[in-house]
Amino acid sequence: MVQKTIDLACIGSACVDVIMAVSDVFRFEMIDAHSPDTVKKYTAIEYSSKLNVSSVKFAPGGSAANVASNLGNLGLKTAYIGKIGDDTMGRMTRDDLAKAGVDLTSCILTKQDATAVSVVLLTPLGKDRSILAYKGANNLLQPSEIKDDWLQTVRNLQWTSLTSQSAIETIDKCIIAVKKGGGKVFACPSISIIKNSHDAAVKLIKKSDMLVLNKEELIELTSIKNLLHAMQDALELGPKIVACTDGGTGSYITDGKTLISAGVYPVEVADTTGAGDAFASGLIYGNLNGMDLEQMVKFGSAIAAFECMVTGVREGIPHAVATIKDFISKNLLKLEKSTFTGI
């Protein structure tokens, strides 16, 4: 029998975030024509204008790479599965993952396209941000590039969004291999796969043990606006646990029996980029280490708080579990525990 040497492999996006702070922008709000109760906020740049950027920062990011790095720094043996460009951005990505001890055996280099890039716009209008994402080499991943014998060494899997047919097939191949070996599968789909490949996203979620996503993604997945009803619908797809974040409001997590509603830790927010991945990292760590729902949401919320206190991705993440536990013991997180009734 092949030894399981990798605690968690993460398949999906790896990119470089170009974080730009801009002030000469406008914000306006509009009522959704198809949903009169929904007000959408927009960041606007004046047409044919040149805006000064007050600061710029280059930071390795990408959902799957973030989780692999976060949990690698916390002592899990992690791996990244994906495809990046054989270029300067790609080398930056690999070097940063390697610093966290992430296994890069299935991190494929290519000259066919550039490493994925996300331009993150930080504005004075709020602590949230807008992102322009280019998937680049990420979507060129092929099932044949991930070796069967290597997959046998993977104990558990986390998947995030890729949208091309070949990349989705690669995620499916990895899920099948891990489930065959008795491992757990953690689904963290972004809005891109839910909107662009909804049926494929549903099929992958049905094979997953835990689903973590934000409110917008959950509503898009289920077409249900009531959050608890949407969580019930998501549970019926197959995951044993569903967790949903709601920006600065907090988060919800349920196993179909118990519902935990949590706020956020009161910290000074510098940048929310990567907070969702940090939260997911905490939930996955907690689940793999036998935590209950309440402990999991505290752990995930704490890692997200550390992420938000520093501009950029991964930089604020602690490198010791003891640091996170100490933070939890010294800071109050508002929680409500109740019986989950769903619909």
Distance CA 96, CA 103 (A): 12
Mean pLDDT in runs of 10 for the chain (343 residues)?
Answer: 92 92 79 72 79 87 96 97 96 96 97 93 71 90 97 97 95 98 97 94 98 96 94 97 94 97 92 89 98 98 93 84 97 95 72
Q: What pLDDT does residue 52 have?
A: 85
Structural tokens at position 7 = 């605690």
Q: What pLDDT does residue 60 have?
A: 92
Q: What pLDDT does residue 306 have?
A: 95
Q: What pLDDT does residue 343 have?
A: 63
With a CB cutoff of 8 Å and minimum separation 6, the contacts of 270 are: 127, 308, 309, 310, 311
CB 300 within 8 Å of CB 282: yes
Q: What pLDDT does residue 128 have?
A: 59
Q: What pLDDT does residue 341 have?
A: 84
Domains defined along the chain, listed by start:
8-20+56-339 (3.40.1190.20)
Predicted TM-score of the model (pTM): 0.91
Burial of 322 (0-12, 13-18, 19+ CB in 10 A): exposed
Q: What pLDDT does residue 140 have?
A: 97
Structural tokens at position 299 = 């752990």
Contacts 24+ apart (CB under 8 A), 262-265: 262/297, 262/298, 262/301, 262/333, 262/334, 262/335, 262/336, 263/333, 263/334, 263/335, 264/301, 264/304, 264/305, 264/333, 265/301, 265/302, 265/304, 265/305, 265/327, 265/331, 265/332, 265/333
